[in-house]
Amino acid sequence: MQRTLSTKQVEAFHHDNFVEDQVRHFVQMLPAAAAGTQVLDLGGGCGFFARRLQQVAQCPVRVVDLDEASVRACREAGIDAVLGDALEPALRGNETVATFNLILHHLVADSEARTRALQVRALANLRGRVGRLFVNEYIYESFVGHLSGRLIFQITKSRLLSAIGRVVATVVPAFRANTFGVGVRFRAHAEWRSLFEQAGYHVRDARIGSPEVVALPLRALLIRTIRRDSFLLEPAESA
Ligand SMILES: C[S@@+](CC[C@H](N)C(=O)[O-])C[C@H]1O[C@@H](n2cnc3c(N)ncnc32)[C@H](O)[C@@H]1O
């Protein structure tokens, strides 16, 4: 079962900081398909991506989100939006592309294995029902294997470690995390690719985002690079 953030924690995501990169990557990878394509934006939040994509590519977008305030904000902005779960979205049957913008890392459960299973399920559910998937995700590359994302997950999902993290963050703001006590599962680029394959998809195309500044204290978590990459997924032939 998914461990979900509180309404207050989700409020931290009510901003449009990343929408230009997401829309640019989408249009670059789906130029011909963009116009007229019915998009299902899972975890679409307040609809910033939906609105911008409609402006740029004239394709209708429907948002599905668990958060009532976000769905209300979408509707107030004239965006088609429904309250729903990305793990079991109700489809209308006309969707040709489904988008997962910065949501997969929030599909977390109480263990590493169950978290991976949730993320795989969200994608695999749509195979054969929606033609292609667009995923925009946080990439955490580590100095040692793929350790950073794993460490962050262990800290943020543990009540005790999160309590310590909150105290440390009062002195070292770089350690602030609004996912404390719930969990968040960032992954390296290669890890996301392997997860997509497990869900029965082939990575048709990808865009590498610009590296963000990694604050010095975060190097203690062995973080080498943080960025946001996008992936265009198609069902694998053999799946
Ligand atoms: C980090 S925000 C991303 C919002 C937006 N897509 C963006 O890129 O800015 C994650 C969003 O996913 C939503 N969310 C988390 N789990 C969900 C689920 N199982 N089904 C639908 N929405 C979910 C949250 O409510 C939140 O709006």
In a domain, 195, yes or no: yes
The predicted-structure confidence for 121-139, as pLDDT tens digits, reads as follows: 999 999 999 999 999 999 9
Residue 215 tokens read as: 């604050």
In a domain, 59, yes or no: yes
**Ligand 1 centroid distance, CA of 45 (Å):** 5
Reading phi first (left if > 0) and then psi (alpha if -120 to 50, else beta), residue 117 is in alpha
Give, rounded to a whole angstrom, the gap between the first and last alpha carbons of the chain.
25
State the pTM of this model.
0.95
The predicted-structure confidence for 81-115, as pLDDT tens digits, reads as follows: 999 999 999 999 999 999 999 999 999 999 999 99
Res 174: pLDDT: 87
In a domain, 12, yes or no: yes
Please report, for the domain that includes residue 49, its CATH number.
3.40.50.150
Q: How far apart are CA 237 and CA 204, in angstroms?
A: 12
In a domain, 27, yes or no: yes
For residue 22, which atom of ligand 1 is closest to its CA? 8
**Ligand 1 centroid distance, CA of 141 (Å):** 23
Instruction: Determine whether the shortest distance from the Cβ of 87 to ligand 1 is under 6 A.
Output: yes
In a domain, 164, yes or no: no
Instruction: Determine whether the shortest distance from the Cβ of 99 to ligand 1 is under 6 A.
Output: no
Q: What φ, ψ does residue 113 adopt, rounded to 5°?
A: -65, -45
- Which residues 6+ apart lie within 8 Å of 106 measured at CB? 4, 5, 43, 179, 184
In a domain, 196, yes or no: yes
Instruction: Determine whether the shortest distance from the Cβ of 11 to ligand 1 is under 6 A.
Output: no
Instruction: Determine whether the shortest distance from the Cβ of 44 to ligand 1 is under 6 A.
Output: yes
Cα separation values, 213 from 6, 14, 143, 217, Å: 28, 22, 16, 12
**Ligand 1 centroid distance, CA of 50 (Å):** 13
Full residue range of the structural domain in which residue 194 is found: 7-139+186-211+227-235
The predicted-structure confidence for 24-53, as pLDDT tens digits, reads as follows: 999 999 976 666 689 999 999 999 999 999
In a domain, 154, yes or no: no
**Ligand 1 centroid distance, CA of 238 (Å):** 30
204-220 average pLDDT score: 94
Res 175: pLDDT: 87
**Ligand 1 centroid distance, CA of 8 (Å):** 13
**Ligand 1 centroid distance, CA of 84 (Å):** 11
Res 12: pLDDT: 87
**pLDDT band, very low/low/confident/very high, at 203 (cuts 50, 70, 90):** very high
Mean pLDDT rounded to a whole number for the chain: 94
Query: 97-101 and 80-83: which strand pairing?
Result: unpaired
User: By alpha-carbon position, which residue is closest to atom 24 of ligand 1?
Assistant: 43
Res 37: pLDDT: 84
Number of domains making up the chain: 1
Strand partners of residue 135:
100, 231
User: By alpha-carbon position, which residue is closest to atom 10 of ligand 1?
Assistant: 103
For residue 67, which atom of ligand 1 is closest to its CA? 25
Query: 201-207 and 223-235: which strand pairing?
Result: antiparallel
In a domain, 118, yes or no: yes
Q: How far apart are CA 79 and CA 27, in angstroms?
A: 20
